[in-house]
């Protein structure tokens, strides 16, 4: 079912308060500033020092650790849609077209439909959240994301009692995502969360980082950030959200079910079959550091998995 909503479909309760509207304007301006810089041939990195999103609240969930440099956050990425090398996404993602963008919502919910990115963002106040990110490969970063809780978005679609999981899909566009011309993974990229994980206050829909709109290599225009799970769970450039009863089959689980489980919670005690997960190299640091249970978010999320065997449910 595809449905671009017209003004008559929009409930008065959904009409944006002025403060949020201004916030969104700043977001749009940030995007314009970035594309303007690109047109003028300026390094987009220069924008990192400017803060186009203003008046962002700094979340209580933010960690107080030194942030990974902007050039590393935007230059060292896993985004196989643009190539399997770490520098490939930064080199190739310029071909992605993020405007217009829409997200299709399907499945077990009262308000399915295709929503424009503007519709999606409209009611949400953006906040900055500084989160640790731990890659399954054994490196980590600290990234100041900009976004809003996924829970707030999900509530708008009114999932039914049958919605046990949320499944997400990345854009599939081999024209603009050259990495998809080879079947390194099953395209489109699919990820999923259990409903309670999706509704957890730490789970973020991100639209920016370092004060500006998300660079394309980081999953523009909208991506998921689940800080207590390995990075590949935080799906990028989302075009589909589906509420389902059965546990989704994510792309990495499909590729190697014994290596990448559905949960993929950061866990120093459960090794990847081919390498240890006990330590990690924080990008920018010389020596490795110990990996923390649930990536240091155990206090907030451990209760989600009470009574579960995390070795089996890896």
Partner 1 sequence: MKPWIKPTVFVLCLLPLAWLVFALLADRLGANPIEALTRETGEWTLRWLLITLCMTPLRKATRWIWPIRIRRMLGLFAFFYVCVHLSTYLWLDQFFDWGEIGRDILKRPFITVGMLGFVLLVPLAATSTNAMMRRLGRNWTRLHRLAYVVPALGVLHFWWLVKADVRTPFVYALLFVVLMLLRWKPVSLRGSNRGQISNLSP
Q: Closest approach of Cβ 122 to partner 1, in Å?
A: 35
Q: Closest approach of Cβ 144 to partner 1, in Å?
A: 17
Q: Closest approach of Cβ 291 to partner 1, in Å?
A: 12
Label residue 161 exposed, middle or buried (CB < 10 Å: 0-12, 13-18, 19+).
exposed
Nearer to partner 1, 77 or 237 (CB): 77
Nearer to partner 1, 138 or 201 (CB): 138
**Rounded to 5°, angle at Cα 303 from 242 and 227:** 55
Interface with partner 1 (CB under 8 A): 71-72, 75-76, 80, 84, 86-87, 137, 139, 184-185, 255-256, 271, 274-276, 278-279, 281, 283-284, 286-288
Q: Closest approach of Cβ 286 to partner 1, in Å?
A: 8
Q: Closest approach of Cβ 270 to partner 1, in Å?
A: 13
Q: Which residues have CB under 8 Å from 231's CB, separation 6+?
A: 78, 133, 134, 135, 136
Nearer to partner 1, 4 or 255 (CB): 255
How many Cβ atoms from other residues are within 10 Å of residue 181's Cβ? 10
Phi-psi region of 256 (alpha: psi -120 to 50; beta: other; left: phi over 0): beta
Question: What is the spatial distance between Cα 288 and Cα 281, in angstroms, rounded to a whole number?
Answer: 4
- Residue 214: alpha-carbon gap to chain centroid: 10
Nearer to partner 1, 94 or 272 (CB): 272
How many Cβ atoms from other residues are within 10 Å of residue 260's Cβ? 21
The token pair that represents 231 in the structure block: 């990075």
Nearer to partner 1, 162 or 279 (CB): 279
Task: Write phi, then psi, for 217 (nearest 5 degrees).
Answer: -70, -15
Q: Closest approach of Cβ 117 to partner 1, in Å?
A: 29
Q: Which residues have CB under 8 Å from 162's CB, separation 6+?
A: 108, 243, 245
Nearer to partner 1, 67 or 114 (CB): 67
Q: Closest approach of Cβ 66 to partner 1, in Å?
A: 15
Nearer to partner 1, 150 or 185 (CB): 185
């Amino acid at each position: 079912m595809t449905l671009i909503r017209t003004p008559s479909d929009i409930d008065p309760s959904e009409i944006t308060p002025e403060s949020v509207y201004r916030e969104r304007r700043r977001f749009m301006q940030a995007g314009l500033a970035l594309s303007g810089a690109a047109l003028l041939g300026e390094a987009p990195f220069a924008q990192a020092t400017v803060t186009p999103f203003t008046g962002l609240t700094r979340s209580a969930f933010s960690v107080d650790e030194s942030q990974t440099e902007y050039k590393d956050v935007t230059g060292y990425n896993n985004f196989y849609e643009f190539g399997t090398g770490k520098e490939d996404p930064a080199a190739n993602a310029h071909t992605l077209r993020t405007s217009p963008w829409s997200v299709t919502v399907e499945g077990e919910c009262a308000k399915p439909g295709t929503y424009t990115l503007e519709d999606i963002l409209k009611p949400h106040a953006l906040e900055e959240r500084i989160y640790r990110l731990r890659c399954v490969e054994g490196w980590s970063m600290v990234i100041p994301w900009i976004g809003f809780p996924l829970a707030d978005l999900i509530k708008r679609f009114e999932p039914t009692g049958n919605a046990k999981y949320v499944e997400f899909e990345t854009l599939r566009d081999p024209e603009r995502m050259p990495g998809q011309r080879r079947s390194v993974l099953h395209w489109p990229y699919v990820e999923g969360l259990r409903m309670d994980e999706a509704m957890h206050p730490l789970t973020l829909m991100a639209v920016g980082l370092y004060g500006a709109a998300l660079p394309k290599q980081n999953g523009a225009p909208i991506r998921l950030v689940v800080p207590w799970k390995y990075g590949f769970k935080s799906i990028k450039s989302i075009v589909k959200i589906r509420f389902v009863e059965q546990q989704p089959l994510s792309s990495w689980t499909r590729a190697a079910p014994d290596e990448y489980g559905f949960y993929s919670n950061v866990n120093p005690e459960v090794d990847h079959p081919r390498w240890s997960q006990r330590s990690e190299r924080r990008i920018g640091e010389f020596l490795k550091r110990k990996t923390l249970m649930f990536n240091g978010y155990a206090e907030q999320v451990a209760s989600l998995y009470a009574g579960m065997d995390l070795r089996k449910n890896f």
